[in-house]
DNA sequence: TAGCGGCCACAACGTCCGGTTGTGCGGCGG
DNA sequence: CCGCCGCACAACCGGACGTTGTGGCCGCTA
């Protein structure tokens, strides 16, 4: 493939071979192999050089694309790569939507989106330089001074139930209403800020929240909810935008107070990446609103 | 690379190996080689499977891009490919601009742009199915019935001279004014419709047009013109849009009549490609205007 | 038209890459 | 604590790819 482009640029097999630091025969063989696998002739061989056939001309831009894609792939893991590498907590949550908006607003900023295990891993990755920014809920008092944090988005937590659930037809509920109900949160991994969040929520309002269990996929989880009248689960409001059509599932807002998941953007202050400032500017800052609830440790990350 | 994506999708080296129909050890070795060449670790090996590292997550979308690019490259030369393959006569001329406009208007239509030797080669390529359409000046009376032709663009021919040329300061000239002047057309290959066009132009107005000579690049040609007070050449009007800033060169319109190069779109009538109709609709049809001149054989291709 | 030179294809050979079989090691679960 | 599962390491083997050597075709030139 690289030989093909080299021959096109050089115009002759011989010169292409020199450029590639191999012999002309090797180039001939490579092109012959490529032509055999593609099933078409790419060059017409003349007495003084090679000219592209029609198929070769059509193939050329795609071949260049392929080489560029390889370049980008290699560059994406090179230290000092210029793409902004951002950690988001869950691709189906608010930060992913926010990042999508940033990408549409600033398409020239290259983004690499990754998902780390938890906030501690994110801070460690920031410190080591393997990521540039992270959307997480963090305890600001535990951050070292060289880590910046801005609370950028509060995502309301809603109750999701099947149609047979006792609360299915309630227009809204208060956290206190949920005492005695079984709140099922499969796939929440102990030790993450998610688990800490729901632990704090359970403790604050005397709820019984099951934060253990295997990780379900989205569809099995929704199917199970739809068929189990005793099950309810918490979901972020933004899942509404990306989940498939709810098969009879009910979204019930929680009020007085509304638990919100406090997404913060965190970054290393001495990171020189120019797009980092653009991202912060694009996000703005959230002032905690009245009537909402977050854990104490999260509220500190104003 | 393909192994990397397979491991990501399968979650385990073993299953990925099964998908690829090779052994687990081979996959291990491939991944190890890839990690060595990239200089980063892509997976964390656990007791039950492999999970992506941060670098692996960042690398993944680029790896998928690479595989998609390969797919497209192979598809571009496959018989029955869905991209519209169009032959244009010179990338710097009107058809290229027209095609660019079509691409902006209908970005979902994939285009492969190629350039063939002359109109005869284009007709042959159309017949054999290796291209879908062609922008050329053709003698319609010589076309077989299964080839469609629509005259879609008339590109006025202008005179290009250096500042020292006797006609440099003329606001416009007539073809008759050019008798006795040396018209220099290097790079026009005998046997093409370009050569036929200028031969007819010379015969019609008694001009001396040198349609031979080696092919110059654009920059050397413009440099030579700028420094030679006895040289003039014909260029299409659309070159204005793409050529570098003329270093003192004069563009002189030709009038009474204005020679125009009659670009036609030609295609094979039984070509089922849906985008072909879209392209024709986008182009419209040119009605020959009064005060212009084309060779008889070209005018026939209304 | 005959000679020559440039350029690519074909053939034979060697090396290295990449695949396979066989085995070892570490972590998780019973 | 033992067994199993999943990946890594080692040795071996075949084929692919690069090399040297050579042949043939075309275009240029005398």
Low-confidence ranges of chain B (pLDDT < 50): 301-302
Domain with residues A78-302, CATH architecture: 3-Layer(aba) Sandwich (3.40)
Q: Which residues of B touch A74 (CB under 8 A)?
A: 38
Of B220, B301, B217, B266, the C-alpha closest to B89 is B266
Mean pLDDT of chain A: 85
The reply to whether A32 has its C-beta less than 7 Å from any atom of strand C is: yes
d(CA A130, CA A201): 32
State the DSSP H helix or E strand holding residue A183, giving kind and residue range, or none if neither: strand A182-184
pLDDT in the model for residue B217:
67
Cβ atoms of B251 and B164 within 8 Å: the answer is no
pLDDT in the model for residue A87:
92
For A59, the closest of B54, B73, B116 (CB atoms) is B73
Q: Which residues of A touch B34 (CB under 8 A)?
A: none
Transcribe chain B into DSSP letters: -HHHHHHHHHSSHHHHHHHHTS-HHHHHHHHHHHHHHHTS--EEEETTEEEE-HHHHHHHHHHHHHHHHHHHHHHHTSTT-SSEEEE-S-TTSHHHHHHHHHHHH-TTS-EEEE--SSHHHHHHHHHHTS-SEEEE---GGGS-TTEEEEEEEEEEEEEEE-TTSTTTT-SEE-GGGGTTSEEE-TTPPTTSHHHHHHHHHHHHHT-EEE--SPPPPHHHHHHHHHH-TT-EEEEETTHHHHSPPPSS-EEEEE-SSEEEEEEEEEEETT---HHHHHHHHHH--PPPPTTEE--HHHHT--
Enumerate the domain spans of chain A: 2-76, 78-302
Cβ atoms of A181 and A232 within 8 Å: the answer is yes
pLDDT in the model for residue B69:
93
Cβ atoms of B3 and B20 within 8 Å: the answer is yes
User: Which residues, 6+ apart, have CB-to-CB distance to A298 below 8 Å?
Assistant: A137, A138, A139, A197, A262
pLDDT in the model for residue B134:
92
- pLDDT, tens digit, 9 for 90 and up, residues A235-288: 888 787 777 666 788 899 999 889 988 888 999 999 999 999 999 888 876 677
The reply to whether A48 has its C-beta less than 7 Å from any atom of strand C is: yes
CB contact under 8 A, A40 and B77: yes
What residue has its CA nearest to the C1' of D24? A47
Cβ atoms of A175 and A207 within 8 Å: the answer is yes
* Residue A246, token pair as written in the block: 């709810």
How many CB atoms neighbour CB A146 within 10 A? 12
The per-residue pLDDT string of chain A (302 residues; one tens digit each, 9 = 90 and over) reads 888 998 898 888 888 888 888 888 888 888 888 888 888 889 988 877 888 888 989 999 999 999 999 999 999 988 878 899 999 887 666 677 788 889 999 999 999 999 888 888 888 899 988 899 999 888 888 888 899 998 888 888 889 898 888 888 888 999 988 888 888 887 777 777 788 888 888 888 888 887 666 666 677 778 888 888 888 888 888 787 777 666 788 899 999 889 988 888 999 999 999 999 999 888 876 677 778 888 877 765 44
Q: What are phi and psi of B47, to 5 degrees?
A: -70, -25
d(CA B49, CA B24): 12
* Residue A38, token pair as written in the block: 């593609």
A57 CA from D5 C1′ (Å): 51
CATH number for the domain whose boundaries are B2-76: 1.10.10.10
Nucleotides of chain D touched by protein CB (<7 A): 5-10, 17-21, 25-27
Question: Domain spanning B154-259: which superfamily?
Answer: Periplasmic binding protein-like II (3.40.190.10)
Within this chain, domains B2-76 and B84-153+261-299 share the same CATH topology = no
Transcribe A72-99 into DSSP letters: HHHHHTSTT--SEEEE-S-TTSHHHHHH
For A112, the closest of B38, B39, B58 (CB atoms) is B58
- CA-nearest residue to B73 within chain A is A62
CA distance B69 to chain A (A): 5
Characterise B90 by phi-psi region: left (phi > 0), alpha (psi -120 to 50), beta (else): left
Which residues of chain B are at the A interface, by a Cβ-Cβ cutoff of 8 Å? 1, 38-40, 54-55, 57-59, 61-63, 65-66, 69-70, 72-74, 76-78, 83, 85, 87, 112-116, 125, 130-131
CB contact under 8 A, A77 and B40: yes
d(CA A297, CA A271): 26
- Cα dihedral B140→B145→B148→B151 (10° resolution): 20
Interface test with A, best of B42, B60, B63, B66 (most A CBs within 10 A): B66
B22 CA from D2 C1′ (Å): 31
CB contact under 8 A, B62 and A73: yes
d(CA A148, CA A128): 15
CA count, 13 A, side-chain hemisphere, A241: 13
Residues of A 149-178 whose CB lies less than 7 Å from any atom of strand C? none
CA distance A25 to chain B (A): 24
Of all nucleotides, the one whose C1′ comes closest to residue B24's CA is D7
Of all nucleotides, the one whose C1′ comes closest to residue A43's CA is C8
CB contact under 8 A, B66 and A62: no
pLDDT in the model for residue A206:
85
- pLDDT, tens digit, 9 for 90 and up, residues A220-234: 778 888 888 888 888
For A77, the closest of B38, B76, B130 (CB atoms) is B38
* DSSP assignment letter at A151: E
Which residues of chain A are at the B interface, by a Cβ-Cβ cutoff of 8 Å? 1, 38-40, 54-55, 57-59, 61-63, 65-66, 69-70, 72-74, 76-78, 83, 85, 87, 112-116, 125, 130-131
- CA-nearest residue to B76 within chain A is A59
Cβ atoms of A150 and A101 within 8 Å: the answer is no
CATH number for the domain whose boundaries are B84-153+261-299: 3.40.190.10
CB contact under 8 A, A69 and B69: yes
């Amino acid at each position: 493939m690289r030989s093909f482009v080299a021959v096109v640029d050089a115009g002759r097999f011989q010169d292409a071979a020199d450029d590639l630091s191999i012999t002309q025969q090797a180039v001939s063989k490579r092109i012959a192999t490529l032509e055999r696998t593609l099933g078409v002739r790419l060059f017409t061989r003349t007495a003084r050089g090679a000219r592209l056939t029609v198929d070769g001309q059509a193939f050329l831009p795609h071949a260049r694309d392929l080489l560029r894609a390889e370049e980008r792939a290699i560059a994406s893991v090179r230290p000092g790569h210029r793409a902004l590498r951002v950690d988001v907590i869950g691709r189906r949550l608010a930060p992913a939507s926010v990042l999508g908006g940033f990408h549409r607003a600033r398409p020239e900023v290259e983004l690499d989106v990754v998902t780390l295990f938890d906030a501690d891993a994110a801070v460690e990755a920031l410190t080591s330089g393997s990521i540039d920014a992270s959307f997480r809920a963090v305890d600001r008092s535990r951050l070292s001074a060289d880590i910046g944090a801005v609370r950028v988005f509060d995502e309301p937590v809603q109750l999701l139930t099947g149609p047979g659930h006792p609360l299915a037809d309630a227009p809204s509920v208060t956290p206190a209403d949920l005492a005695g109900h079984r709140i099922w949160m499969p796939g929440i991994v102990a030790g993450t800020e998610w688990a800490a969040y729901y632990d704090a929520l359970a403790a604050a309002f005397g709820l019984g929240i099951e934060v253990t269990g295997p990780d379900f996929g989205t569809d099995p989880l929704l199917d199970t909810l739809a068929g189990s009248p005793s099950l309810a689960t918490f979901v972020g409001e933004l899942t509404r935008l990306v989940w498939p059509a709810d098969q009879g599932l009910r979204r019930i807002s929680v009020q007085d107070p509304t638990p919100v998941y406090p997404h913060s953007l965190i970054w290393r202050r001495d990171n020189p990446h120019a797009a980092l400032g653009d991202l912060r500017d694009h996000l703005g800052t959230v002032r905690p609103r009245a009537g909402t609830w977050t854990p104490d440790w999260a509220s500190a990350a104003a």
